[in-house]
Amino acid sequence: MKKSMDLKTLWDRASKKSKVASTSTPKPAPIIVESRSRNQGNPSPSDGLQVVPDDDKSGDDESIASNAKQLQAEAEALYLSHLTTSVHCLRFILQQGLPVHGHLENEGNAGNFLELVDWLAENIEGVKRVDLKDAPRSSELLDQKAQEQVINACAKETTRLIIEDLGDGYFSVLVYESRDVEQQEQLAICLRYVGTKGMAVERLLGIVGVEDTTPLTIKTTIQNLLTSHSLSFSRVRGLGYDAACAMKGYDNRLKKLIVDEAPSAYYVHCFAHQLQVNMVAVAKQNVHGGWFFYHLQYLMDFLVMCCEKIRMLGVAQAEYIIETFELEETEAEYGLDRESLGTPCDTPRGSRYENVMHVISLYPAIWEILCMIGDEHSGIKSLRAQQVSYAFETFEFVFIAHLLQTIFEYTDDLCSALQKRDQDIVNAIDLVSVTKKRLQLLQEDGEWERFLQKVTSFCVKHDIELVDMHGLYDPVGRSPKFYEKATNLHYYHVDMFLDVIGSQLRELDGMFDEVNTELLICMAAFNPVNSFAAYDEEKLVKLANFYPEDFSQCELLHLPFQLSNFVDDLRLDERFREVKTLAELSIKLVETRKDRVYNIVYRLLRLALILPVGTASDERDLSSVNYVNNKAENKLSEQCANDCLVTCLERETFGQVKDDAIISRFRAVNNR
């Protein structure tokens, strides 16, 4: 492969050409002339001999200057070619969420970036001339520092486009707790806003490491990040916290700190994620619930992660179903048609409700497998099976499993309703009241007796040893010194049954307080389905009154008239017949330029859209944060890891960034 000439080679070639040109032609002697002053009678002190410039020497100087300019142009073109190749390679790696560096780059594992550069240089003809390995030391782009600077330029240009799309509009702040590869606390902060095209979007602003998750620390972290992007709390109109177990219990105080600076920043739970996630988090706060989920996770890891055990589970389940039919027992009671334990995670795609339900329905099959592996195998498999079965066969495990299944069954319908589109918000709010009422009924003595009888019958059927409710409580697999001496009835009835149900009720009250309920009901009046069949002028005017800083008194007086014109106009416009959601309505208004005609109504619609209630067409999957964070090697700095996350999660916006913008920002660093 022909090597490209570096800066030193070009300079040597130019100097040699100048030297050859100067030595090949003999230089004539300089012409010396006598110079006198115009005043012949009074000679000046400056009168004397002057040397006339040699025309050939002047030509040599011009030749050197011309070669220097050519040299500079060639070096500039060479450097830009190297830098462009580097940018293209990093673009591909960042958009795929791949690690940039290898663990041992000097011992055969060059890493994705270096390997990609080598492959391009060996296989692509156009890249051979600009192989980065041919670059001189002054423009070397293969070192890690230069790569991180390019990545930082990519992230900053991506964020710049996001801020430009936001403009001077309002936005919601979504905060997600996560951890890096070293298990350090981080806050993933996102913005939810309506862009210039009328689309409601959620964009990652950045990942920030924090020492703790106290309210003041979280508030300060959010404020500092917003300030760094020239954003202010005064423009915040919505708040959302999700998947943040460390933040649990702080949200009310954190909300107060933010609302003190932004009174119209309403907290609404992000319904784009299942309610079950929060329900599980609340259940884990109970020490007994946490013990159950710990052993449930251990059980799932033991059975689900092995194909052989999954096959054994299916065979055992089929045999149990046959035996059940022979005994003329019904299979509907415990749902014996299921053959999978599900996925052991708290995400919407692997709800813990399904995990708990499957464990109960497959209990006899699971027990048979644990006994089979514990008896027939030796070594670590047998020990793990014995450890799992120790907790699995206890009354406490079965009791908590049935309790959580009961709670999740009542909240599952609400969870499903909250995942649907705008037209179901009113029904979802009604379902909140029904769910609260049903959980409150569980706290009555009659319900406790029926529930205990259900658990007892299950234990008797599957030969599980019962506990004496009047005897002293003996924690399973834990030291009794950490628990006060009390009867089993106290622990099972008060500390488990009533405490878990009470915490779930408090969670529902916090998520659906009076203000949130009113906001959601008023938003539903904007629903465009069936030619605005749910339109309610009074509710929409009430919605505008939730934002006194965003509407003047004159605009509030004019709003009812503009709403009437707005609805009548859109009902007659064929272009709005197929609009189904608030997000689609916003986009269509911008496309038809009616957002300018009904500017007050459109402003109200934008405020409704930025509330994180799952009505946007673009719902984020922030589980990607953990995926990319794990892929980013720990060799990366905190800033570089953040830059990799921004470019990967916002790959659509990153794709709009021009190479020239990245190169210009990169070269501005250290005056490159």
Q: Which of 501, 490, 382 is nearest to 438 (CA)?
A: 501
Confidence at residue 270, expressed as pLDDT on a 0 to 100 scale: 59
As a whole number, mean pLDDT of residues 335-350 equals: 42
CA pair distance 403, 357, nearest whole angstrom = 11
Please tell me the number of Cα atoms within 13 Å of 470 on its side-chain side: 0
Could you give the residue range(s) of every CATH 3.30.420.40 domain in the chain? 149-269+618-671
> How confident is the model over 389-446, as pLDDT tens digits?
888 899 999 999 999 989 888 887 777 776 665 545 666 777 888 888 888 888 887 8
Confidence at residue 18, expressed as pLDDT on a 0 to 100 scale: 45
pTM over 0.95: no
CA angle 393/395/400 to nearest 5° reads 105
Q: Which of 2-11, 75-84, 592-601, 625-634 has the highest mean pLDDT?
A: 592-601
Confidence at residue 126, expressed as pLDDT on a 0 to 100 scale: 61
Q: Which residue has the higher pLDDT, 543 or 410?
A: 543
Burial class (CB in 10 A: 0-12, 13-18, 19+), 330: exposed
Beta strand 200-209 pairing with 236-242? unpaired
Which has the minimum average pLDDT: 321-335, 540-554, 601-615, 644-658? 321-335
Q: Are 148 and 640 in contact (CB under 8 A)?
A: yes
Percent of the chain's residues with pLDDT above 90 = 22
Which has the minimum average pLDDT: 18-22, 65-69, 434-438, 663-667? 18-22
Q: Which residue has the higher pLDDT, 111 or 163?
A: 163
Q: What band does 56 get if pLDDT is binned at 50, 70 and 90?
A: low
Confidence at residue 398, expressed as pLDDT on a 0 to 100 scale: 93
Q: Is the pLDDT of residue 206 over 50?
A: yes
Q: Is the pLDDT of residue 564 over 60?
A: yes
Q: Are 641 and 629 in contact (CB under 8 A)?
A: yes
Q: Which of 508, 509, 512, 531 is nearest to 521 (CA)?
A: 512
Residue appearing with tokens 């609400």: 414
CA pair distance 206, 208, nearest whole angstrom = 6
DSSP tag of 494: I
Q: Which residue has the higher pLDDT, 37 or 661?
A: 661
Q: Which residue has the higher pLDDT, 661 or 8?
A: 661
Number of residues that make up the chain:
672
CA pair distance 317, 367, nearest whole angstrom = 11
Q: Is the pLDDT of residue 487 over 60?
A: yes
CA dihedral defined by 119, 96, 177, 166, rounded to 10 degrees? Answer: 120
Q: Which residue has the higher pLDDT, 335 or 97?
A: 97
As a whole number, mean pLDDT of residues 370-395 equals: 81
Q: Which residue has the higher pLDDT, 545 or 583?
A: 545
SS3 call for 592 = coil
> How confident is the model over 512-521, as pLDDT tens digits?
777 878 888 8
> How confident is the model over 217-232, as pLDDT tens digits?
888 888 899 999 999 8
Q: Which residue has the higher pLDDT, 669 or 487?
A: 487
Q: What band does 57 get if pLDDT is binned at 50, 70 and 90?
A: low
Q: Which residue has the higher pLDDT, 542 or 426?
A: 542
- Write a three-state SS string for 318-377: HHHHHHHHHCCCCCCCCCCCCCCCCCCCCCHHHCHHHHHHHHHHCHHHHHHHHHHHHHHC
CA pair distance 480, 610, nearest whole angstrom = 50
Confidence at residue 557, expressed as pLDDT on a 0 to 100 scale: 94
The tokens describing 420, both together, are 């649907």
SS3 call for 10 = helix
Q: Which residue has the higher pLDDT, 522 or 247?
A: 522
Q: Which residue has the higher pLDDT, 351 or 151?
A: 151
CA pair distance 546, 518, nearest whole angstrom = 10
Q: Which of 343-347, 447-451, 577-581 has the highest mean pLDDT?
A: 447-451
End-to-end C-alpha distance for the chain, whole angstroms:
28
Confidence at residue 312, expressed as pLDDT on a 0 to 100 scale: 59
Q: Are 544 and 560 in contact (CB under 8 A)?
A: no
Distances in Å between the Cα of 225 and the Cα atoms of 9, 220, 228, 230, 561 are 47, 9, 5, 9, 41
Q: What is the chain's mean pLDDT, rounded?
A: 75
DSSP letters for 73-112: HHHHHHHHHHHHHHHHHHHHHHHTT--SS-S-TTTT--HH
> How confident is the model over 287-298, as pLDDT tens digits?
888 888 888 888
CA pair distance 101, 636, nearest whole angstrom = 8
Which has the minimum average pLDDT: 51-65, 140-154, 490-504, 584-598? 51-65
Q: Which residue has the higher pLDDT, 29 or 636?
A: 636
Q: Which residue has the higher pLDDT, 60 or 470?
A: 470
Which has the minimum average pLDDT: 303-312, 332-341, 398-407, 657-666? 332-341
Say which CATH topology domain 149-269+618-671 has: Nucleotidyltransferase; domain 5 (3.30.420)
Other Cβ atoms less than 10 A from the Cβ of 563: the count is 22
The tokens describing 509, both together, are 């009250």
Confidence at residue 628, expressed as pLDDT on a 0 to 100 scale: 55
Q: Are 583 and 617 in contact (CB under 8 A)?
A: yes
As a whole number, mean pLDDT of residues 188-199 equals: 88
Burial 220-241 (b: 16+ CB within 10 A, else e): ebbbebbeeeebebebbbbbbb
Backbone angles phi, psi at 134, to 5 degrees: -85, -5
